[in-house]
Amino acid sequence: MRTAGSAGTAGSAPAGDGGTLPEQPPAALRRPTVRALLLVAVALLLAVAHHARPAAYGDRLVLHARGEHVPGTPPPPRPPLRTNGAAVEAYDAATGRARWTHAREGRRPLAVLPARGHAIALWDDGLVTDTTRRDGSAVRWHRALPGAGRWLADHEATGVLRLLGDGVLAVITPERVAAYRLADGDLRWTVPTRPGCRFVPARAVRHGAVLLIARPCPAEDRWTAGLVAVDDLGVVTPNRAPAADGRRGERHSAEHPRPGKVVAPPR
């Protein structure tokens, strides 16, 4: 006959050999564990969604090999650049092997311009990009050329990308010349063409610090109307003088009308 003390508690599991089973922790103590698991699951889902999100402008950067650098020696030389099919490629000059590639989904690079620490590329949709030249680790900036996509599809990109002094990139299209600061892509100035005239990028010639750009004007008799001289500050004119703050600026007279230079405000 079982006594009341020997009877199992109502609702509890029967005891096994050697004693009773340990008591289960209260539900209140189990909640933090469940909450922690939920937080981990949410974090994993967010991470997956972040990596699945398409890169801006369709950029695809792939690092193939790092340049060898022995401590205590000068850093390896800046890798040469080239267009290789649908990508901009930096390669090892000694072996010819690719160091890194920059591609954009559905796009093709038309021209690449090497600069100190920069790999400037012009793409078939009229986008200009700047990739870190040594390791291809990032695209610093993107700049779109208004209305240039159709013209680029029908013409060569020869001469469109030009370096000016003091870290400035000039981009020449038939309708305008735009200058960007290499460090961050900041727009420094633009020079639109005159009515009835068009810039010809392939016929631009460097003369010292000045870039001479052909601008044929069929309706203009003066030969000077068919040529524009620019430098890192914009159109070069005979009466341009230093500004009040010591920087070079422009002064315009009746003989030299304002050429449409727009200087971005300093940051």
Q: What is the DSSP string of 129-198?
A: EEEETTT---EEEEEE-TT-HHHHHHS--TTSEEEETTTEEEEE-SSEEEEEETTT--EEEEEEPPTT--
pLDDT at 156: 81
What would the pLDDT profile of 202-261 be if each residue is shown by its tens digit? 999 999 999 999 999 887 767 667 899 999 999 998 877 543 333 443 333 333 334 333
* Across 158-162, 173-177, 180-184, 253-257, least confident range: 253-257
pLDDT at 70: 54
Check whether domain 54-156 has CATH 2.40.340.10, yes or no: no
Fold match between 54-156 and 158-267? yes
Average pLDDT, the chain: 78
Print burial letters for 59-69: b (CB count within 10 Å at least 16), e (below 16).
bebeeeeeeee
In this structure, how many other beta carbons lie within 10 angstroms of the beta carbon of residue 172?
Answer: 25
Reply yes or no on whether the pLDDT at 24 is more than 90. Answer: no
Cut 0.85: pTM above it: no
- Second CATH level (architecture) for the domain 158-267: Beta Barrel (2.40)
166 or 186: which leads in pLDDT:
186
Domain residue ranges in the chain: 54-156, 158-267
Give, for 32, the enclosing helix (H) or strand (E): helix 27-52
